[in-house]
Structure 1
């Protein structure tokens, strides 16, 4: 159940960050409210996640996967370029998440 909550927390954080892009510096109401709602939901779900997962593991996965997902959204949908450094960084995040889980994160 902890990992399902963590996935939901990551999805809410990614949605909030994506809405932040469209808030135009918090000058547009609907994207600004979506940003606030996404972050509030994300932190609430992350808090619930910490009942079953260690804080180090949960936070590392939450921040790492969220960062990689936002980078991918930027590249795929927002016209941001892919560089070797971005690709390497995303690969390192994925490797880190796998290592955390193999290293007794359960």
Structure 2
């Protein structure tokens, strides 16, 4: 299998569950708002968010990555199909407790 981001592949190998039989992942980029482009001009690309979304047969992983080196920042959200209540942990600020209800179809 060809992997474009070896850091994500290493993270996935560490967190894979025994009953997960397949996974697909893709890259998503969220651009900074126009106001940031007007205010900061040449450094605005650093405000863009680079995200990898991975879908397995049991869960969905949303991982933020550093645009400069491709390494994961630690801001990861895991949506498990068996659990309805999830917890989002921001590892850069060590804050926890933002919760939401997720229904998997």
Give the structure, 1 or 2, with the largest relative contact order (CA under 8 Å, sep 6 or more).
Answer: 1
Same fold (TM over 0.5): no
TM band (smaller chain): under 0.3
Report the structure number with the largest CA radius of gyration: 2
**TM-score, normalization by structure 1:** 0.27
**TM-score, normalization by structure 2:** 0.27
Greater helix fraction, Structure 1 or Structure 2: 1
